[in-house]
Amino acid sequence: MKQRFTLNNRMSDIIDEDVIFLSTISRFGISFGFGNKKISEACDANGVDKNTFLAVVNFLAEIDDIEVIDIQSLSVETVIQYLTNGHNYFLSYKLPSIRQKLIQVIESNVLNRTYQQAFIHFFDDYVAEVRRHMDYEDSVVFPYVTRLLAGVKDNKYSITRFYEQHTEIDSKLKELKDILIKHYPSSNSDYLLSDVVLEILFCEKELAIHTRLEDYFFVPVVFRIEQAFPVNDN
């Protein structure tokens, strides 16, 4: 059985549990080089709300669900910044990195260069879909929640509306991965192909985790904030 992380755990303990937490730590703005610092010490040193960090980590580790988390102890602003940093990570770094490696795989295979435009077009369409998805959250959802925190409720919008429209964004990435594995013959070494498939797999997992945090952590927290506002019958 997994053990719940506490503020007294070392920050490195989280990474030992699962390397996926490397990106979690980075998105909170916590710099590496924390040595043997405890979670509380590393968070304080980087100006990160430690209770929020700990709640997110235990949630992502599937140790705690939102029902047992003390919402009053959370910094919703910190959660928004974490999600915003995640969007920047995917759009500015991870997906461009996969695209570049995908091009390298195709160009290294003389027999299959005819696939290049089809693969790149498919991938670019997918990235455009992800960008629309994340831009909506950055421009509509997060500002809405920020106004809520300031005591302003927009009765024409709600977090439930966002949740009902929220879709998974990793399915096309899985489709691309399956095509590469099952149907893309290589003419020489598979090292490049294996590398890009592994990166797609990791990105697919990261996107699924990101979506899970939005749907089952962020949305319930915001919903409870909404419930604190008086009912407007107008």
Structure confidence at residue 36 as a pLDDT band (50, 70, 90): very high
64 contacts: CB under 8 Å, gap ≥ 6: 4, 55, 58
More confident residue, 191 or 234: 191
User: pLDDT tens across 213-231, in order?
Assistant: 999 999 999 999 999 887 6
Structure confidence at residue 187 as a pLDDT band (50, 70, 90): low
CB 30 within 8 A of CB 46: yes
62 φ/ψ sector (left φ>0, alpha ψ -120 to 50, else beta): left
User: pLDDT tens across 72-102, in order?
Assistant: 889 999 999 999 999 999 999 999 999 999 8
